[in-house]
Amino acid sequence: MVYYKNRVLFIIIKREDEMDKMSEEDRKRILESPPIGTFALMSLVIGGMVVAWLFLYYGVFLPRG
């Protein structure tokens, strides 16, 4: 278990070293790019909520009258 924690720490430190080596243009490009992953996650959550609402409306409420 300790090895796993050290490995995670090593990966975090390695990523910070990579960020230090980036040019200013790359940093600016990353900061100005849209958060695609956030939009994808929001779409999945909203889609799931719509499906759940449709199931409740058509599967539970309408059959009961």
pLDDT over 80 (residue 1): no
Q: Where are the domains of the chain?
A: 2-64
Distance of alpha carbon 51 from alpha carbon 44, whole angstroms: 11
Rounded to whole angstroms, the Cα distance separating 12 from 22 reads 16
pLDDT digits (tens, 9 = 90+) for 38-65: 999 999 999 999 999 999 999 999 999 8
Q: Residue 28: pLDDT above 70?
A: yes
pLDDT on residue 3: 47
